[in-house]
Structure 1
Amino acid sequence: MRFTKTLIAVMGCSICVSATEAFEFSAQQQKSGVFLGASAGVPPEGIYMINQFFTYQANIVGPVTNTIGSKTGVQAAVDVQAFLFVPGWTFLGATYDAVIGVPFAMQSAGNPINAQASGMHNTYIVPAELSWKLADSGVSVKTGLGIFVPDGTVTGLGGTGNVGAPYWTFQPEVIVSYLKDGWNLSAALYEEINTANSITGYRTGNILHADFTATKTIGKWTVGPVAYYVGQVTSDRSSAFYNNLIQNANRYDVWSIGALVGYDFGPAAFTVWATQEVSARASGAMAGQTDLSNATKGFTAFATLSYKIWSPDEAPTSGRPLAHK
C-alpha cells in the first residue's frame, strides 16, 4: 500500500493571530508543505483514513517587526483527520477521487501580542480530483479544487481572534509527477483565493504554494529531499471596517527545504518530514502608511499515518452462518 504514490490532500492551519483587531496578520488557510510526499497518483478503489499531526515553531519577520519587535515567536500544533474516497469512477480518461478533512489547532504568539487560541479550523473539502496517467511514461497529472468552509472557531470583534476564518477559500490545484521504478518526482502547485471576511469585509490577497518532492522507495522505505515555496501574490483589500485604509498590503515570499522518511507497514504507511524555512521576506505598504507587512520563518515537523478502512474487494469474514435450518 504505497501511500507515497497517492495524493493525500490534508490541510494545514496558518498562524493568523491578531495583535488587536486593528490589523490582520497574513492568514494562510493551508499550511505550506502539506503536499510533500504526495503525488498525482491515485490508490486502488476504497476509502482511506489519513491522520496527520504537525508542529510549527517560528518567529514573525518583515517590516511589522519595527512595530511589534523582532523576536515575536509564534507556535502552532495541528491535528487533522481526513478521508480519501476513491469510488473507482473515471471521467475523460481520468480517475476520480474526493477528500474531506477536519483540523483542530492550538496556536500562540509571544510578546507583545501575547495571544493564544485553540479550536477547530475550517473544514477542507475537495469534491473532485481527476488524475491522468500519460501512457507508460511514468508521468501523471492531477487537478482539482479544494474548498475551505467557514465553520471553524471564530472569535473577536473582526473574527480573527481564533483559529477559524470567517470567509471561504477556494484552492485550485495541479500536481505533476514522475512515478516509476520507485521514484516520486512531484511538483504540486495550489493557490488560495479568499472571499472577503464576512464580519469586516477585509479580503486577504491570493496565496500561492509550490511543494516539491524527490523521493525514492527501496523495499518498504521511502526517503528523499523536499522543499516548498509560499508567497502572497496579490495585495490585501481593506473595507469600511478599517475606514477603507489598506491595513496590510502584505506581499511575502518564503522558501523552505527539508527531508522525508517513510515506512510501509502493509496495513498502514507512516511518513515523517521536516522542513526549515531558509528565506522569508515581506513588503507592501502603501505610500505614507506604516508597513505592517509580515511573514513567519521557522521549522515544521509533520507525521502522517495513512491506511485503508474499506475496499470493495475485501473478502467476507469466515465463520458459521448467522442463521440456518
Structure 2
Amino acid sequence: MRRLAARRATTLIATACFGVAGATSALAGSAAQPGQTIGLPVGAQLPVGLYFVNLSSFGVRGTDPRASTSNPNLPTLAWATPWPVLGARLQLFFTQPVVAASSRGAPYQSGIGQQLLAGQLAWDLGGDVGVSYLFGGYLPIDTRFLTQEASFTHRFAASYTGHGFNLTANLLYGTFVNARSPDGVLYPDYLNLDLTATRKFGKFEVGPVAFGSTDLPTNVAGYRRQGQFAVGGLVGYNFGPVNLQAYVTRDVIQRNYGGTETRGWLRAIVPIFQDKADVAPDRTLVTREQND
C-alpha cells in the first residue's frame, strides 16, 4: 500500500482528466474522460458520412500545495455507415489522444494516450427519439503518466433531437482487462454519466450540461474510491462547414480527487463527406447546411 500511495502522490494529475483517449492514472478508473460526450446527441443516428471531431479541454484542479492542470486533445474519426445491423445504423469510431499535464505545479509531461476503436449501433425510434449502444476497446500503451492497461467500454445513450433540442443522457461503463498493471497500479472499473439539455436558436446552440463519474468497488483494502459531479453551460455556433461548441464545467461534489476542478472545453465538428439526402436540417450536430 505504501507503493500505491506514493504513486498516487505523483500521478494525481491524470485523474478524471483524460478521455476517449483512455488516459487516466491509478487514482481514477475511468479510461473515458468524464464529460467528453457532453453536447453530442450520441443516442441519435449520424447522417451517413465521414466526420472529423476534435475535443480539447483545459482543466485546473485545486490540489495542495499547488494546482494540477491538464490539456487532453481527443481527435476522432467517425464513420456513419449506410449499413443496417439489427435495425440500427452501424457507426464506427477511432480516437488517438494527445495529452499534456502538470501535477501540483510539477513540470509538464506530454504524450499520446490509448487509442480507442469502437463500433456503435444507433436506432431511430421515431418522434425524434434515438437510442444507441457503443462497444469499444482502449489499446494498451507505454506512456508512463497515463493509463497503460487495455480496457473495454460500453456506452448506452438516449437522445431527443426534435424542434432544435438536444436532450441526451449517455451512461459509460468501463472494465479493465487486468485490474493491476505489471508495476502494481490499480485500475478499478468505472461508471460515467454525461448529460446535455441544449436548444438551437438559428445557428446558435445554448443550454445547461452536467456529468458525473465514480470508481466501482474493488477488493483492495484501503483504496479510496473517487467520484465527482460537475455542472456547467454550453454555447455552440454552426458556421456551415464547421460546427463549434464550447462549454465550461465546475465540480460541485468531489471525492478523493484532492480538490475541485474547473474545466473549459472546445469541440470542432467537420463533415469530410456527407450523404446530403440523409441530412435532417434541424439536427443539432453535424450538418453542412442549415435551413433554420
User: What's the TM-score once normalised by structure 1's chain length?
Assistant: 0.73
Counterpart of 1:144, as a letter, is L
Cα distance in 2 between the residues matched to 1:12 and 1:279? 24
Contact 1:193/1:206 (8 A) holds in 2 = yes
Superposed CA deviations along residues 94-152 of structure 1, whole A, max 9, x for unmatched, are 111010011111111126xx4642100111111x201111122x221011112111135
RMSD: 2.2
For 1:303 and 1:129, locate their aligned partners in 2 and report how far apart those are by CA, in whole Å. Answer: 24
Matches within 5 A, 1:140-179: 140-154=130-144, 162-163=145-146, 165-179=147-161
User: Within the alignment, does 1:229 sit opposite 2:192 as a pair?
Assistant: no
Do residues 79 (structure 1) and 78 (structure 2) align?
A: no
- Which of 1 and 2 has greater Rg? 1
Mapping of 1:53-132 within 5 angstroms?
53-60=56-63, 70-110=64-104, 114=106, 116-126=108-118, 128-132=119-123
* 2:260 alignment counterpart: 297
Q: Cα gap change, 1:236/1:295 in structure 2, threshold over 3 Å: closer, same or farther?
A: farther
Which structure 1 residue ranges, 5 or more long, are not aligned?
1-9, 17-23, 61-69, 155-161, 238-245, 283-293, 315-325
Shift of 1:236: 6.3
- State the 4+ residue runs in structure 1 displaced beyond 6 angstroms: none
C-alpha separation between the residues in 1 aligned to 2:201 and 2:142? 40
Alignment partners' CA distance in 2, 1:28 and 1:296: 18
Q: Specify every segment of 5 or more residues in structure 2 that has no aligned partner in the other structure, as ranges.
A: 1-18, 278-292
Contact 1:12-1:32 at 8 Å conserved across structures: no
State the one-letter code of the partner of 1:36: I
Is the contact made by 1:235 and 1:250 (CA closer than 8 Å) also made in structure 2? no
Q: Match of 1:235, SS?
A: coil
Q: TM-score, normalised by structure 2?
A: 0.81
Q: Give the percent of matched residue pairs that are identical in Structure 1 and Structure 2.
A: 22
Trace 1:1-325 onto structure 2 (pairs within 5 A).
11-12=20-21, 16=25, 24-39=26-41, 40-60=43-63, 70-110=64-104, 114=106, 116-126=108-118, 128-136=119-127, 138-154=128-144, 162-163=145-146, 165-196=147-178, 197-235=180-218, 237=220, 246=221, 249-282=223-256, 294=257, 296-311=259-274
